[in-house]
Amino acid sequence: MIMRNPDNLYDFKAFGQVIKTARETKGWTREVLAGKVNLAPRYIMSIENKGQHPSFQAFYELVTLFNISVDQFFFPDTGAEKSTRRRQLEKQLDELDEKDLIIIEATAKGIIQAKEAEK
**pLDDT single digits (tens) 61-94:** 999 999 888 877 776 665 556 677 777 888 888 8
Q: How far is CA 23 from CA 29, 39, 51, 107, in A?
A: 7, 14, 15, 26
Instruction: Identify whether the C-beta of residue 1 lies closer than 8 Å to the C-beta of residue 76.
Output: yes
Q: Is the pLDDT of residue 104 over 50?
A: yes
**b/e map of 73-84 (b: 16 or more CB within 10 Å)?**
beeeeeebeeeb
The vertex-34 CA angle with 31 and 38, nearest 5°, equals: 140
8 pLDDT band (50/70/90 cuts)? very low
Q: Is the pLDDT of residue 4 over 70?
A: no
pLDDT at position 88: 81
- The residue ranking higher by pLDDT, 10 or 43, is 43
Domains of the chain: 1-81 (1.10.260.40), 82-119 (no CATH)
**Residue 93: strand, helix, or coil:** helix
